[in-house]
Structure 1
């Protein structure tokens, strides 16, 4: 049974205080220059509940690059555009490998395992880009996220996007491999340019928690997708949202979540809350170390879990 909402403010504050004192904070993503320069001594947490309240602590108002958390919104947008046709081009199984691995893509003839590994996200972006210009699609995706968060100030960090384009050789390799198997409809440069800008969307924990409410499926939360579609997106977040650390996160936290190498994690407690945590230092799986630890504490303190 979960705690009363009145207790959440204290729980969130306690967790932020505990994270502030942690010595092992992981390592920032040093392969993207703009992310390598981020101060690792930051931690933020925000919890948005169906009664309209937002509980925040730490650096919850500091904007950061959401990176792969953006894949949740691209997936929701793609399912709204093409529906289940998307699954002809990308699967729904966990990969068990690193987010940028090419191994399974080669074994399975150019069909990515799921939409949250890089190859699958590139296919998802390519699907919604087909027939549009990158500028048109990015504008539409931003409008979707702004509507979800009820915040028109959310934007793309151009410096981060350029940094990713300059260092994205492995993603270019994935894109050209997809293209060789006929699973990329647009020119790789266009799809990847769009994908890198999508990953460079910048949000704070407070904004991200609000932007995740459409997946909570509770009265008082935005209804931007059907309940069935929200349930399927949450299922993929549970099984694939943390790459080869997805099982570890599911075991420790018991809630659907999607991480990004910018240190952010969006977590959904179905029917209860949308949660965002952020700390730039990553663990061995490429997920926020303190963010994962904080979610373990939050799940323990609230009793929130999809497993009862």
Structure 2
């Protein structure tokens, strides 16, 4: 364990600021396009209970595709291996909102973390939960130890108003029999899900179970909860490593070597099994939809700590 982790975070914070201006915010969702770009936060939560934060680590931001990780886990807990009849486990090699592969692969998305796969996951959960937004928030509030977590109605509406491509995917998958609920209902749930807001500190805490063999450690002194089995935790982390950064997953695995999930809100969460979790946020994105400063910060962290060496 690095003795001077706070100093390393300060160093990374300083270095990362040189990259401001190299990306752009996700302005294809109008409400996200209004986010001030020059922000950076980073938080680390360790399995031994330590937490460290730097910069804008306590500023809430829109999780966007990072929520796909949590809905995937909920669906895996709910239906188990039946899930793999409707979604694959392979990297896509295509943009996160691509519709092309659905045409050639009979409406079966490549993995749960591209938009098409996440829509299928939301469809599964919509069948189970009459109010999926509250079910998801309940799980996130428990994992983050924060009863005040919420989704941003304004961002959800902005996303829903521009969700034409996602709606096309939903109807296309329905034509192949891989969508069971009305696409409009699923899209409503999906957009509310993506508009969930967290800070880096909250996100690091909420994903601790993935670093801790599926056990959720409470900050309030409550007993640990086995939120996910150890085997399923290992499988989730494997998919995050291979599919968690859109069509830049291979580059992230090469540069960082950790299971990650990114989002177009500028957030990235990384898992260091047996050690802890790292959440970074900087809203300027590269051409693949991943945070420029966030990716740099994670790469520097593994260089300075060696945390990526024992994950593969």
TM-score by length of 1: 0.96
Q: Which runs of 4+ in 1 moved over 6 A?
A: none
CA contact (8 A) 2:41 2:57 kept: yes
Structure-1 residue corresponding to 2:203: 208
Q: CA deviation at 1:95?
A: 0.3
Measured in 2, the distance between the counterparts of 1:111 and 1:130 equals 18
The CA distance in 2 between the partners of 1:220 and 1:31, in whole Å, is 35
Q: Which runs of 5+ in 1 are unaligned?
A: none
1:252 aligns with 2:255: yes
Would the aligned equivalents of 1:52 and 1:220 in 2 still touch at CA under 8 Å? no
**C-alpha distance 216-131 of structure 1, shift in aligned 2 (>3 A):** closer
Aligned to 1:233: 236
Q: Secondary structure at the match of 2:44?
A: strand
Residue by residue over 1:214-271, the C-alpha shift from the partner in whole angstroms, topping out at 9 and shown as x without a partner, is: 1002688453111111111111110000111000000000000000000000100011
Q: 2:140 aligns with which of 140, 145, 150?
A: 145
Are residues 1:105 and 2:102 paired? yes
2:87 aligned residue (77, 85, 90): 90
Residue 138 (structure 1) shift: 1.3
Aligned to 1:271: 274
Q: Look up the match of 2:221.
A: none
2:73 equivalent among 76, 79, 91:
76
User: 1:257, 1:267 within 8 Å by CA — same for their partners in 2?
Assistant: yes
1:175 aligns with 2:167: no
Q: Distance in 2 between matches of 1:61 and 1:93?
A: 34
Distance in 2 separating the partners of 1:138 and 1:155: 9
Q: Partners of 1:178 and 1:268 in 2: how far apart? A: 32
Query: Corresponding residue for 2:220?
Result: none
| Match of residue 184 from structure 1 | 179
TM-fit CA distance, 1:12: 1.1
How many residues are treated as equivalent by the alignment? 303
The Cα shift of 1:22 comes to 2.6
CA distance in structure 2 between the aligned counterparts of 1:214 and 1:109, rounded to whole angstroms: 34
For 1:168 and 1:127, the matched residues in 2 are separated by: 19
Following superposition, the deviation at residue 69 of structure 1 comes to 0.2
Which residue does 1:129 correspond to in 2?
Answer: 126
Taking structure 2 as the reference length, the TM-score comes to 0.94
Structure 2 runs not aligned, ≥5 long: 218-223
CA deviation after TM superposition for structure 1 residue 283, in Å: 0.9
Asked if 1:261 corresponds to 2:264, the answer is yes
Q: Separation in 1 of the partners of 2:30 and 2:216?
A: 40
Structure 2 residue aligned with 1:197? 192
- Alignment RMSD: 1.3
